[in-house]
């Protein structure tokens, strides 16, 4: 059940489903960072990064890792579904990559839909043929609401759900739905939050009040289920972290129970229960499988980072997940870091210091700086044992300063690969990213739309 194909997945990669709109395209030069300087084309297929066929810095994704990671999470969730008897599906968070080509890889592999964070992200996904979208956020702008309603009217195959956490927010949606009829209900999930967290109702009573406001707005709105987001807790201290995340997911289940008991979920088909960022999807799937509601349920987990993984932020979180979940251990759940940023050694100006030609414009730092993982010279990768002991100690916009072990140093013009921690804040530094094979030869160039 969990490996279902989306009914409307697109056979063509990155097909455009927009209506004909001659004004909707703009001719731009091929100047994106990471593309050949000679402007020869938007794709760099066949170029080899080690051979320096492309200007640096450049960002790559290892194809083998993408494929294995995509399979690994879907297989694990399938196993959880079989073990619990629940309908567990994956709607990966698309804000991680904002790459339509990667969305379609995920959908082709069996994902249920794509999760997104803003109306404009939904617009991008729609343009590139994504049929089922969970907007894991409140939708409050009038312009944004109107666009979603128009899209629901235009395309009967568009499945869309967003979140509500206030009566005021529900009323805004209902007001626009009355003014710009979609011809069918706008589906919403009540968001269950927690004190000190982000959005979401803080109590069962608030949740019931918001749900009743949705009911009052029928048939313009329809209550489709309950959502929560425990993912922010991944950076809280390890002591009690799993319990706190479990409590957030449990509040989703509790609210669903309360709404179900009040008959407020009677129009949901099935009831969607959603939680689960990239660190706690095991807890989300298992806890949300527990409530016995009067109507069928579907559990939607939303990890965005499994596809690329990383050795900084997510590998320790994955190890923790595997340690607590027997099925993850039995399935041998594992991911491989797929994302790398390549840079030249610009200078080795003093003992103990090396300057690289990539900086905070090229990789994220919010979860720590990237690690040096590869070293190449004259087109060949070299084994350089001290790389792992050479941390990036300072970063400026276009440079990274690496602290070197005593006596170590590379040559000016050598090439190094950096492995970022937290993919989200590295993806958004690039408009063109190269999917590469094991020899670091470009197979496909994917675009991002941040």
Residues from 104 through 133 that contact its own copies (CB under 8 A): 117-120, 123-124, 127
SS3 105: helix
Candidate residues 9, 320, 324, 360; the one interacting with its own copies per rule CB under 8 A? 360
Q: Is 413 in the site for its own copies (CB under 8 A)?
A: yes
CB of 377 to its own copies, least distance (A): 12
Q: Is 138 in the site for its own copies (CB under 8 A)?
A: yes
CB of 53 to its own copies, least distance (A): 7
Q: Looking at the DSSP assignment, which residues form a beta bridge with residue 271?
A: 297
Candidate residues 5, 18, 269, 405; the one interacting with its own copies per rule CB under 8 A? 18
Contact 229, 135 (CB under 8 A): no
Q: How far apart are CA 380 and CA 360, in angstroms?
A: 27
Q: How far apart are CA 92 and CA 164, in angstroms?
A: 20
Q: Which stretch binds its own copies (CB under 8 A): 29-37, 105-113, 253-261, 309-317?
A: 29-37
Candidate residues 8, 13, 17, 53; the one interacting with its own copies per rule CB under 8 A? 53
Q: Binding to its own copies (CB under 8 A): which residues in 188-247?
A: 193, 195-202, 232
The two three-digit tokens of residue 205, written as one number: 């009573």
Q: Is 16 in the site for its own copies (CB under 8 A)?
A: yes
Contact 388, 394 (CB under 8 A): no
Site string for its own copies, 147-186 (x = CB under 8 A): x-----------------xx-xx--x--------------
CB of 194 to its own copies, least distance (A): 9
Candidate residues 55, 181, 240, 296; the one interacting with its own copies per rule CB under 8 A? 55
Candidate residues 10, 60, 99, 137; the one interacting with its own copies per rule CB under 8 A? 137
CB of 401 to its own copies, least distance (A): 7
Strands (E), 208-352: 221-228, 271-274, 297-301, 339-350
Q: Is 403 exposed, middle or buried (0-12, 13-18, 19+ CB in 10 A)?
A: middle
CB of 320 to its own copies, least distance (A): 20
Candidate residues 309, 375, 399, 434; the one interacting with its own copies per rule CB under 8 A? 399
Choose among 310, 317, 364: nearest CA to 337: 310
Residue 21 CB neighbour total at 10 angstroms: 8
The two three-digit tokens of residue 282, written as one number: 């095991």
Judged by CB under 8 A, how many residues of this single chain contact its own copies?
Answer: 87
Site string for its own copies, 328-347 (x = CB under 8 A): ----------------xxxx
Strands 371-377 and 380-382: antiparallel
CB of 450 to its own copies, least distance (A): 7
Of 25 and 380, nearer to its own copies (C-beta) is 25
Q: Which stretch binds its own copies (CB under 8 A): 68-76, 236-244, 284-292, 398-406?
A: 398-406
Q: Which stretch binds its own copies (CB under 8 A): 73-81, 103-111, 359-367, 381-389?
A: 359-367
Q: How far apart are CA 37 and CA 40, in angstroms?
A: 8
Q: Is 398 in the site for its own copies (CB under 8 A)?
A: yes
Choose among 80, 13, 37: nearest CA to 283: 80
Q: How far apart are CA 259 and CA 212, in angstroms?
A: 9
Q: Is 357 in the site for its own copies (CB under 8 A)?
A: yes
Q: Binding to its own copies (CB under 8 A): which residues in 69-98?
A: 95
Q: Binding to its own copies (CB under 8 A): which residues in 245-304?
A: none
For 354, residues 6+ apart whose C-beta sits below 8 A from its C-beta are 345, 347, 348, 390, 401, 402, 404, 409, 410
Sign of torsion, CA 388 394 400 401? negative
- Max Cα–Cα distance, the chain, nearest Å: 72
Candidate residues 7, 12, 20, 26; the one interacting with its own copies per rule CB under 8 A? 26
Of 424 and 435, nearer to its own copies (C-beta) is 424
Q: How far apart are CA 302 and CA 64, in angstroms?
A: 22
Q: How far apart are CA 202 and CA 218, in angstroms?
A: 24
Q: Is 37 in the site for its own copies (CB under 8 A)?
A: yes
């Amino acid at each position: 059940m969990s490996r279902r194909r989306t009914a409307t997945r697109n056979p063509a990669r990155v097909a455009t489903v927009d209506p004909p709109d001659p004004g909707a395209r703009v001719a731009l030069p091929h100047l994106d960072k990471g593309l050949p300087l000679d402007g020869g084309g938007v794709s760099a297929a066949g170029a080899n990064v080690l051979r320096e066929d492309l200007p640096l810095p450049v960002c790559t994704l290892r194809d083998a890792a993408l494929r294995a990671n995509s399979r690994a999470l879907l297989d694990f969730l399938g196993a959880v579904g079989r073990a619990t008897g629940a309908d567990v599906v994956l709607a990966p968070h698309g804000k991680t990559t904002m790459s339509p080509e990667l969305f379609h890889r995920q959908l082709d592999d069996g994902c249920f839909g794509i999760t997104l964070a803003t109306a404009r992200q939904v617009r991008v996904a729609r343009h590139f043929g994504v049929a089922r979208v969970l907007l894991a956020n409140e939708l409050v702008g009038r312009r944004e609401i109107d666009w979603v309603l128009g899209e629901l009217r235009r395309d009967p195959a568009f499945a869309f759900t967003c979140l509500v956490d206030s009566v005021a927010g529900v009323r805004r949606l209902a007001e626009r739905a009355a003014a710009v009829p979609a011809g069918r209900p706008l589906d919403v999930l009540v968001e269950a939050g927690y004190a000190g967290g982000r959005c979401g109702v803080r109590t069962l009573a608030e949740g019931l009040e918001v749900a009743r406001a949705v009911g009052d707005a029928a048939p313009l709105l329809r209550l489709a289920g309950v959502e929560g987001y425990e993912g922010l807790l991944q950076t809280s201290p390890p002591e009690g972290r799993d319990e706190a995340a479990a409590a957030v997911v449990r509040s989703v289940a509790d609210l669903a129970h309360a709404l179900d008991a009040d008959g407020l979920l009677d129009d949901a088909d099935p009831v969607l229960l959603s939680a689960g960022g990239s660190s706690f999807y095991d807890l989300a799937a298992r806890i949300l499988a527990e409530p016995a509601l009067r109507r069928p349920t579907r559990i939607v987990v939303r990890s965005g980072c499994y596809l690329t993984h990383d050795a900084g932020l997510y590998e320790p979180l994955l190890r923790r997940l595997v340690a607590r979940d027997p099925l993850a251990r039995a399935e041998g759940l594992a991911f491989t870091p797929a994302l790398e940023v390549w840079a030249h050694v610009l200078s080795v100006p003093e003992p103990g210091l090396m300057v690289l030609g990539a900086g905070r414009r090229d990789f994220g730092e919010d979860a720590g700086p990237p690690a040096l993982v590869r070293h190449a010279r004259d087109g060949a990768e070299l084994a350089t044992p001290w790389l792992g002991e050479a941390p990036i100690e300072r970063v400026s916009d276009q440079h990274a300063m690496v602290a070197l072990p005593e006596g170590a140093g590379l040559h000016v013009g050598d090439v190094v690969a950096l492995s970022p921690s937290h993919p989200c804040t590295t993806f958004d530094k690039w408009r063109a990213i190269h999917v590469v094979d094991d020899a670091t030869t470009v197979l496909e160039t994917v675009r991002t739309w941040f």
